[in-house]
Structure 1
């Protein structure tokens, strides 16, 4: 069986098995396999790589790395991380998050980013909705990223929601519009007078606050209460991530 050498950038090593976490290694490749097959075979979702190079020349994921090689030749396939910020079909980008990323969805919505999330969505439904609504599917499920019907998707890095948020902001650099979407359902917020929402407030809240917003989707009412400082910190950290993205020289 023909072989090829893979040169993998260290930025992708976390996706490889420990025995393959080195600059170069050799894999056997059936003559019918494509570059996309090879990338998936070693555990890297194609969504995470930039344009691959075969012996220094650009090659499509559908190209066959062993096609036309002479006996004894061993082609070299170079894989590097996908460049950031990543362009999307919709601008500003619209996201769909899998069931395990609810905290991330709430943070994205807090920043005014269109982030859809459903509590019981199965993988086929996620793939269909992402394609139908032109959304980027965000997930930590590598298997889901291998589905060919997904037009746009990304592997979210980080164990905690704050780290995941920083990764998504750095990767896609979406514009921010804090406090304009409902963290619960993602629908836009609109200003609401105290009289309009009085029936949905506790007496102490009516006495302490005068400025309110109401969700145009689920109807939930918001005001700047005890959690405002904590949420302001989330917004400030998000702006810092995008500032560093725009100017890498910033500390």
Structure 2
């Protein structure tokens, strides 16, 4: 007996996950009459973290819908900004260190694994800490244990940051997090951090901040113009006011 066949079309944003032969609108796919539509979409390469509305013959259905002979399926991307069940907290894998630092620069809670601890451990941490897993590893985003996840589409840090801000619209509080460890920054008296400063820094700067967790010291150094530009662009995208700064 022939297996049921459906037609399926993916939004342009999702076609990067799909084999070339299945990217055309109305591509034909055999189904088994038992597996859910969510399973079918995943089997074609698209992580469910990237899937928004599913339409069958023009009507919305859930992931658990069982596709039947002749149905026409449309797979749309996640709507932006994406609503989360909790605060916008993130976990980034070993390949996204620059993105992690830029999110922290903006005051976004961004945990980062600088070692390759494996997909299972990352997914478990995402679930335990209720963090959105950000990754370019498609296999990782297929793991059921994830609390939430998102594919980072670009390999360029500036584009990655714009993508995450557009997708999740997290509240921004620039200059309030340690870019090294994700801890919170507090104003620091120059005398209190003097022993951590090189002679040139001590002579040239008077305003400092220090991480409450790792004790890293920050000041408005030679690279502040580049960081200011990153912050300014992010604030313009989110249309949020810039808070008073403590350091960089």
Match of residue 86 from structure 2: 90
**Contact map agreement 1:89 1:134 (CA 8 A) in 2:** no
User: Structure 1: which 5+ residue stretches go unaligned?
Assistant: 67-72, 245-251
CA RMSD of aligned residues (A): 1.3
Match of residue 117 from structure 1: 112
User: Structure 2: which 5+ residue stretches go unaligned?
Assistant: 241-248
What do residues 54-102 of structure 1 show as CA deviations (whole Å, max 9, x unaligned)? 1222221122112xxxxxx4011111111000011223x0000011111
Q: How far has the Cα of 1:192 moved from its partner? A: 0.5
Q: Aligned with 2:96: secondary structure?
A: helix
Task: Map 1:57-206; keep pairs closer than 5 Å.
Answer: 57-66=59-68, 73-91=69-87, 93-120=88-115, 121-206=117-202
Q: Distance in 2 between matches of 1:149 and 1:206?
A: 48
Q: How far has the Cα of 1:20 moved from its partner? A: 2.2
Q: Distance in 2 between matches of 1:11 and 1:61?
A: 19
1:6 maps to which of 5, 8, 20 = 8
**Contact map agreement 1:49 1:79 (CA 8 A) in 2:** yes
Match of residue 70 from structure 1: none
**Contact map agreement 1:13 1:22 (CA 8 A) in 2:** no
Q: Distance in 1 between matches of 2:139 and 2:223?
A: 37
Q: Distance in 2 between matches of 1:42 and 1:128?
A: 25
**Contact map agreement 1:96 1:117 (CA 8 A) in 2:** yes
> Normalising by the residue count of structure 1, what TM-score does the alignment of the two structures yield?
0.91
Count of aligned pairs: 237
**Contact map agreement 2:21 2:27 (CA 8 A) in 1:** no
Q: Distance in 1 between matches of 2:108 and 2:194?
A: 28
**Contact map agreement 2:56 2:72 (CA 8 A) in 1:** yes
